[in-house]
Amino acid sequence: MCPVTTGTERQIGIFLFDVEELDAIGPWEVLSYWCRSFPEDGWAVSCLSHSGGPVACANGLTVHAHHSCGDCPPLEVLIHPGGQGTRSQIHDEAHLDWVRDQRARVATLASVCTGSLVYAAAGLLAGRPATTHWASLDLLARLDPTIEVRAEERFVDDGDVITSAGISAGIDMALHLVTRLAGTERARQVRRGIQYDPAPPV
């Protein structure tokens, strides 16, 4: 089922393919909690894939996309997650053309983990600061040597493009998006609501 909306909300889309699950589900948890709990902010989030319907993720979870790319509502934010599936996407000209088309239509592009490799392959990170999963930093630099690779940052906000580091960093990036779109106090409310307060046990 699609999220309940009034049809007037500004739209955030999370792109699905054979993603690393947390790359997509982490931001979904943050953003769906925000949109559901604070509808007065006027935002909605949904998931899309090229064909719509069920999508098999990297580790066996099946997720149902709310929309296909063809019937998705106009987006103001697009999040491209990562995972091993991005290794084929960086050579898939049809997918790269779709990403470039989104660049022309969508105000803010964000990525999680190796989603930034796709943006790099599409030429969208030229001359920009960016990050990705620690194990793919060298590949990011090879895809476009003009990228200012920021290896130590959890996420990099370069205005209309935001990239984040590996997997769980997408939660931090999504909270940062809430800060940008609705303010610091709202992001704090969301963080408390999902009880996200990292204190690694090891």
Q: Strands 62-65 and 53-56, how do they pair? A: antiparallel
Could you tell me if residue 163 is left (phi over 0), alpha (psi between -120 and 50 degrees) or otherwise beta? beta
d(CA 44, CA 35) in angstroms, rounded, equals 6
CA distance 25 to 19: 10
Active site residue 2: no
| Candidates 47, 57, 72, 113; catalytic one | 113
Q: Who contacts 108 (Cβ-Cβ below 8 Å, separation ≥6)?
A: 76, 77, 78, 160, 161, 162, 177
List residues bridging with 11 in a β-sheet: 44
**Helices and strands in the chain, H and E counts:** 7, 11
Residues annotated as part of the active site: 113
